[in-house]
Chains A and B, each alone.
Chain A
Amino acid sequence: MRALKQHQGLVAPMDRSNVDTDMIIPKQFLKSIKRTGFGPNLFDELRYLDEGKPDQDCSERPINPDFVLNQDRYKNASVLLARTNFGCGSSREHAPWALEDYGFRVIIAPSFADIFYNNCFKNGLLPIVLDEKIVDQLFSEAEAQEGYQLAVDLEAKTVTTPAGEAFDFEVDDFRRHCLLNGLDDIGVTLEQADVIKSYEEQRRQTAPWLFGAGN
C-alpha cells in the first residue's frame, strides 16, 4: 500500500449527500477480477451520459458537462470534498479502488459510512471527518476560488486552507500508523500468530461446535 504522510492537492467539491458506492462504481464494473483500472469508470452514471460497459474505451463516450469532475477547473483534483454519509451502501472495495485509480488521495466529509471509511485506509486513501460547518466553509471557498488547494498533514492531523487556516481532525492511531508507513496490516497481525493460536486452542475446548463445519 502507498504511504501517505502529507498531501497537497486541488479540491473538487461534490455537493450531494448520501453518495453510495453503487454511484461511485456501478455494478457492471465489479465483474473484474483485478484491483486496478477502475478510474475511468469512477462515478460512471454521473460522469457519462450513456450506459457504461466493462472494458470499454471511455475516451469516446458522451460526457455529462454538469458533473463536477468534468469541469476543466477540477481536472487533476486529488482531494474530494463531499457531504454527509459518503460511501454508504455496498461494501465493495472497488469504490476506494476507483477513487484511488482516478487520482484521489484524500476525501473530506462531515461523515462517512463505516465500511467505506475502513476500506479507504487499506488503499492509501485518507478519509477525513470535519465538522459540517467547516465543510460548508470549504465548499464555499473551493467553489469561489479557482485552483483551490488544501494541504493535509496526517502526522499532525491537520487540514490547512490556502489562507493558512488549519483544522484538526481525528483518526485512530492504528489506521494512522499503517497509512503513514504504507504497512501491510496482514503482516502486522501475523506477528501475533501465537496469540491467535492460543485463543483458538482455548475456543476449541470451550466451544467445539465452532470448528470443523466447513470440511
Chain B
Amino acid sequence: MAGKTLYDKLWDDHLVKQRDDGSALIYIDRQLLHEVTSPQAFEGLRLAGRKPWRIDANIATPDHNVPTTDRDKGIDGIVDPVSRTQVETLDKNCDEFGILEFKIKDQRQGIVHVIGPEQGATLPGMSIVCGDSHTSTHGAFGCLAHGIGTSEVEHVLATQCLVQQKMKNMLVKVNGKLGPGVTGKDVVLAIIGKIGTAGGTGHAIEFGGEAIRGLSMEARMTICNMSIEAGARVGMVAVDDTTIDYVRGRPFAPTGETWDAAVNYWRTLHSDDDAVFDKVVELEGSDIKPQVSWGTSPEMVVGVDGFVPDPAKEQDPIKREGIVRALKYMGLEPNTPITGIALDRVFIGSCTNSRIEDLREAAAVVKGRKVAAGLKQAMVVPGSGLVKAQAEQEGLDKIFIEAGLEWRDPGCSMCLAMNADKLGQGEHCASTSNRNFEGRQGFGGRTHLVSPAMAAAAAVTGHFVDVRELMN
C-alpha cells in the first residue's frame, strides 16, 4: 500500500466519522473569527438557541474594517457608521459568548492570518478554519487550514466540526535554489501563472522541493496564503526544524513535557516517501524572476522583464476575450514593457505580505532613497500591532518615513479597501496583496501584484523596475 501524503495524515487525524454517502465529519481545532463573516453566524446560533461547542477553540480580532490611522481613538476612530457597527457587533458577540478577542486597541490586534501564527494559536497539525479564503496561510505550519463561508462558521461554532468531502492530493515542487531578490511572493505568483487560477480546484496542494525547504516560515506563509488564488482551498508545507523553531516560545505554544510530546508528533507531519499524488507540478527555482501581474486575475502575471500580452497571439477564444477585457479595464496596450507601466500608488501590507520579514525587505530597498515624485501615495501597513512594534524597535518605521512612505496602523487596509484606504478610479497600484480583481482595491482601481521588495522598488522609481538592479 502506498504511503500517506501530509494531507492524508491530517485528514485521518481529524476524522470524527466517515459517512456512507462519502461525506465525512471533520473536527476543527481552531477557528479564527473577524467582524465581516461572523455576525450572521452568531445571530444564527442565537436564533436556534445554540451555544458554542468549545469556546477555547475560537480567537477573534477585527481586521477588515479597521482604520489604519488614529488607532488610539479605538472604535471611535471608525468614521463609517456601518463599519463601526460591524466591529462593535464582533465585540458584543465575543463578550456575550466569552470568546477571546484582541480588540481594536489591543497590541495583539492584527490581520487574523498574521496573529494566529504570531501568538502560537496556529500550531502544526491543527485543523484551522476562518470565514476568509486566505486561511490557507496556516498550512505553512503543516496544518489542514482553509476558508469557509458564514454558514460553516456557525456550524463550527455549534458543533466543532465540518461536513467535508476529501479533496485530491496535488504536489507543487519547486526544485533547486531561488535567485537573489526572488521571494516567496514571486514563487507563488509564478506557480499561479503556470497552473492558472483553477489549477488547484478540488485539490489540497502541498508545496515541496528544495526551494520551499530553504524558505523561512513567513515566506512559506506567503506561498500557502495564495493557494486559493490557484484554486486550492488548502495549501501546505511539511513540518521541519524551521517550523518548530518558529513556534517555540510563542504565547499559546505548549511548554515542558507537552512541548516535547507535541514536537514528536509534529515531526511525523510530512508526506511519506512513497506517497502518491493525484497531480504533480514542478518548477525550477532558478527560472523564477520577480513577478508582476498585468491583468485582473492573479494568473495574469509575467516576469518583470516581460511585456503586457497581445490578445491577437492567443488561440483560445475565451482566453483571448479575457485578455481583451482585462487590458481594457487596466488601461494597458498590448506589448507594453512591464517596466513602462506608470504607477499612482504603492501598498505594502495584507495577510500575504505584512510580516516583519516583508517590512525588512521593503525597508532595505527604500533605505536612503525617496518616493518618486509622480506617486500620489506609498503606504506601509504592518500585519499586527506586534509586527508594528517590532518594526519600530528595528527602526524600519524611520526608514519608511524618511523615504516618504506612510507608516500606518495594522489591518487588512487597501488589500480589499473596506476601510478608508482605497484606490481612485483608473489608478495603478503596485500592491503586495493577493487579488487584482476588478474593483478589488477601490472602484475602477488597477492592481498589480508584486513582492514587498518589488513594491518598494516601484515606490522609489514610480514605475516597475527589477529590484535586483537596485540591490547591486
Contacts and interface: CB of A to CB of B under 8 A. Distances in A.
Interface of A: 16-18, 20, 22-23, 26-28, 30-35, 45, 51, 54-55, 83-85, 88-93, 96, 111, 113-115, 118-119, 122-123, 172-175, 177, 184-186, 188-190, 192-193, 195-196, 199-200, 203, 207-215
A209 B254 contact: yes
B37 A91 contact: yes
B159 A18 contact: no
B17 A192 contact: yes
A15 B166 CA distance: 31
A91 B150 CA distance: 9
A91 B131 contact: yes
Nearest to B130: A91
B2 interface: no
Interface stretch (B48-56, B171-179, B211-219): B48-56
B325 A200 contact: no
Contact of A92 (B17, B37, B197, B435): B37
B65 A31 contact: yes
A18 B55 contact: no
B402 to A, nearest CB: 33
Given A209-B254, A209-B258, A123 B151 contact: yes
Contacts of A186: 48, 50, 154-155, 158-159
A109 B99 CA distance: 40
A196 B26 CA distance: 9
A52 to B, nearest CB: 8
B153 to A, nearest CB: 9
B149 A119 contact: yes
Contacts of A203: 27
A118 B322 CA distance: 26
Contact of B438 (A22, A32, A118, A213): A22
Contacts of B258: 208-209
B438 A45 contact: yes
A81 to B, nearest CB: 14
A177 B55 CA distance: 30
A23 B29 CA distance: 32
A200 B27 contact: yes
Interface stretch (B78-86, B285-293, B330-338, B389-397): B78-86
Nearest to A174: B23
Interface in B69-128: 80, 82-83, 85-86, 89, 99-100, 120-121, 123, 125-126
